[in-house]
Amino acid sequence: MRWEALFGDLQAQLAAEEALAFESETAERTRAELAGVTLRARLRANNGAAVTARVRNGHSHAGTISAVGADWLTLAGEGRSVLLPLAALLWVEGLGPGAEASEGLVVQRLTLASAFRALARDRAPLTLELDGGGGADAAVLNGVVDRAARDHLDFAVLPPGEARRRRTVSAVCAVPYAAVVSAASLV
């Protein structure tokens, strides 16, 4: 009987040590996996989630995640769609903990320049919010994207609600992508 109690006690100690080692290994693997998770992977895993995103110029945009590219995301809501460069984000509220395991090659090619080329092709009227600019009016442009180059876009500035015609264009501005914090269009 004494031997059974001794072996039972040893087995319990061994089981406790194995459980502790397993928990420690699991926690370490979880930390290691989390270290490799990108914001883009989290955004893609939360496609359709309602979030609020704050951008560098201090404005917040609320909506549901409708698309995520290599360096941008779009939020849909309140009758409009907003394109946000990932580099302009200060924080995103409302994301679940999940992350997309693998991000395909197609996503890598859908860059901010690709998104602006599509907007130029569609001649979609936009409101661009820019980082900085001194005053509130200087940091917002209304109009359409004429051309989208590698690191900048040519933006035809128009009065709100006007179609792009030679007589309605007040200026054409070359805007570096790095200055764009959001591009909003009506859906």
Same domain, 65 and 27: no
Same domain, 46 and 97: yes
pLDDT in tens, 108-132: 578 999 999 999 999 989 999 998 7
At residue 158, the pLDDT reads 95
Q: What is the CATH number of the domain that holds 168?
A: 2.30.30.100
Strand, coil or helix: what is 140? Answer: strand
At residue 39, the pLDDT reads 93
Same domain, 51 and 137: yes
Same domain, 140 and 166: yes
Domain range holding 31? 1-36
At residue 105, the pLDDT reads 45
At residue 171, the pLDDT reads 95
Same domain, 19 and 91: no
Same domain, 125 and 92: yes
Same domain, 75 and 22: no
At residue 163, the pLDDT reads 87
Same domain, 113 and 32: no
pLDDT in tens, 143-168: 999 999 999 999 999 998 888 999 99
At residue 138, the pLDDT reads 52
CA distance 183 to 129: 6
At residue 3, the pLDDT reads 72
Same domain, 136 and 102: yes
pLDDT in tens, 36-82: 789 999 999 999 999 999 999 889 999 999 999 999 999 999 899 99
Same domain, 62 and 30: no
Q: How many domains does the chain contain in total? A: 2
Same domain, 2 and 56: no
